[in-house]
Amino acid sequence: MKIALIANSRSKEVKNQDLSPDLANKLLARNIRFDLFATQYHGHAFEMIRQISVGEYDAIVTLGGDGTNYQVLNGLLKYHGDRQLPPLGILPVGRGNSFARDLEIFSIEDGLAALGRQATRKVDVCRFSQNDDAHFFVNLMGFGFVTDVAKTAARFKWAADFSYVIGVFYRLLGLKFHDLMLEIDGNVISGKNCFVEICNSRYTGGNMLMAPEAQIDDGLFDAVVLAPLSRLSLISTFPKIFKGTHSENPAVQFIQAKSASVFTQPQKILLPDGEIFGTTPTEINVLPRLVRYFSQGPSMRPSSKGREGP
């Protein structure tokens, strides 16, 4: 098996554009040959994918977090989307690693085990618009309070998952709401809003269970819509996200759908797969089971180059 390994160079597994001997040996022990493509700056993974001959590899694997996976996915679908894509793999070393959890991958060892088993799972992809351009996510995309939290958390990367907790408490001080018009599968929600998360998978910020009922292969996204609420109500609800019981707050609404159109006033910054990118207005729709990921979770199929399982 030969893979293209797209690595976030800020990972401790990469030094001077070389892979750590320990990880290299673990790959080779599983008969996995690799070509290493280490990023040199933010967004580099997206650009590198354009130059890679993906047909030469049995898999495209990221060594990074949700952001690295987002860039690789978008590069593949933008520059190679007209052909059969090889399966994708994740060796999680990022700050959040939220999407990998739905693949039952919680560590590098889990990611290596999934590659070794060569079993894949078909995964839905969500497409969202920015003017006339299409972009994609597989974890979730939010706006409003959640984006504000992520912007603060990015300043505390050294705190790992706890950086999001810091962000929540900091942003509570200046809690504001915006006007929202959300058309979702033909139904309209309008009024003041705190945040919306369009969830393809269940987790955000590492281990926050934002959408407990979301499935990555059901052809639907789960929208989590939070209406205006007091600071006290928000802070008392926040710990419940870790167990997925925040639906107990009547301000929280869950909606499963295939498409949505979003308009806000003022314009809000988007947060696809943890990346601060894009603004409202936008349109979102699901592309069912578009790509394959190596997985240790359910719905796995033996992988073969250039062929999807049934």
In tens, the pLDDT along 260-286 reads 999 999 999 999 999 999 999 999 999
- Rounded mean pLDDT of the chain? 92
- Asked if residue 61 and residue 190 are part of one domain, the reply reads no
- Asked if residue 152 and residue 98 are part of one domain, the reply reads no
Does 308 reside within a domain? Answer: no
pLDDT at 95 over 60: yes
Decide: pTM greater than 0.75: yes
CA distance 176 to 187: 25
Domain containing residue 20: 2-125+289-302
Does 309 reside within a domain? Answer: no
Tally of domains within the chain: 2
Q: Which pLDDT score is estimated for 300?
A: 47
Does 248 reside within a domain? Answer: yes
Q: Which pLDDT score is estimated for 82?
A: 66
Does 310 reside within a domain? Answer: no
Does 47 reside within a domain? Answer: yes
Does 307 reside within a domain? Answer: no
- Asked if residue 212 and residue 111 are part of one domain, the reply reads no
- Asked if residue 90 and residue 77 are part of one domain, the reply reads yes
Q: Which pLDDT score is estimated for 177?
A: 96
- Asked if residue 39 and residue 6 are part of one domain, the reply reads yes
